[in-house]
Amino acid sequence: MTVQITPAELEIMKIIWDRPGLGASEIAGALVDQQDWTIKTIKTLLTRLVEKGALATTSEGRRYLYTPKIARKAYQKTAAGQLVDRLFNGRAAPLVAQLADARGLTDEDIAELEALLGTLKS
């Protein structure tokens, strides 16, 4: 089963993937410069992520601490596959071409892609 995570929920997940075991107030503090969300909004997003099975909770006194139940890499792999399927008929090459056209590729990006292709050919 694939967990569908909204863009807003993904912002919460990024914080928790980087620093598992935070409470809602610490998550709000980590997002203060990026989002203009109230603590109520953050708690709503956390509740949704728990209901979806993306987060687990442990209680510490009167508050909950949140930890990821899905790994970042696993989510990225699934989301990338869905994107390629939805927009590029399951083909990765047009996705890379689109990214190169829209954002450009640095020399480092090109070197990483070449190394990846070399690994895949082996």
User: In this structure, are 108 and 80 located in the same domain?
Assistant: no
Question: Which strand (E) or helix (H) includes residue 57?
Answer: strand 55-60
Q: What is the DSSP string of 61-88?
A: TTEEEEEESS-HHHHHHHHHHHHHHHHH
CB atoms within 10 A of CB 26: 16
Tell me: pLDDT of 2 over 80.
no
Residue 11 CA to residue 66 CA, distance in Å, equals 14
User: In this structure, are 53 and 69 located in the same domain?
Assistant: yes
pLDDT recorded at residue 1:
55
Query: Can you give the pTM of this predicted structure?
Result: 0.83
Place of tokens 């709000």: 28
Number of domains composing the chain: 2
pLDDT recorded at residue 7:
94
Could you report the per-residue pLDDT of 61-97, keeping only the tens digit for each? Answer: 999 999 999 999 999 999 999 989 999 999 988 888 8
User: In this structure, are 46 and 80 located in the same domain?
Assistant: yes
Could you report the per-residue pLDDT of 20-57, keeping only the tens digit for each? Answer: 999 999 999 999 888 889 999 999 999 999 999 999 99
Average pLDDT over every residue of 5-9: 95
Higher pLDDT, 97 or 13: 13
pLDDT recorded at residue 3:
86
Higher pLDDT, 57 or 105: 57
State which residues form the domain around 32.
1-89
User: In this structure, are 100 and 76 located in the same domain?
Assistant: no
How far is C-alpha 58 from the geometric centre of its chain's CA atoms?
Answer: 22
User: In this structure, are 3 and 63 located in the same domain?
Assistant: yes
Average pLDDT over every residue of 96-120: 88
**How many degrees, rounded to 5, is the angle at CA 89 between CA 87 and CA 107?**
65
Specify the CATH number for the domain of residue 74. Answer: 1.10.10.10
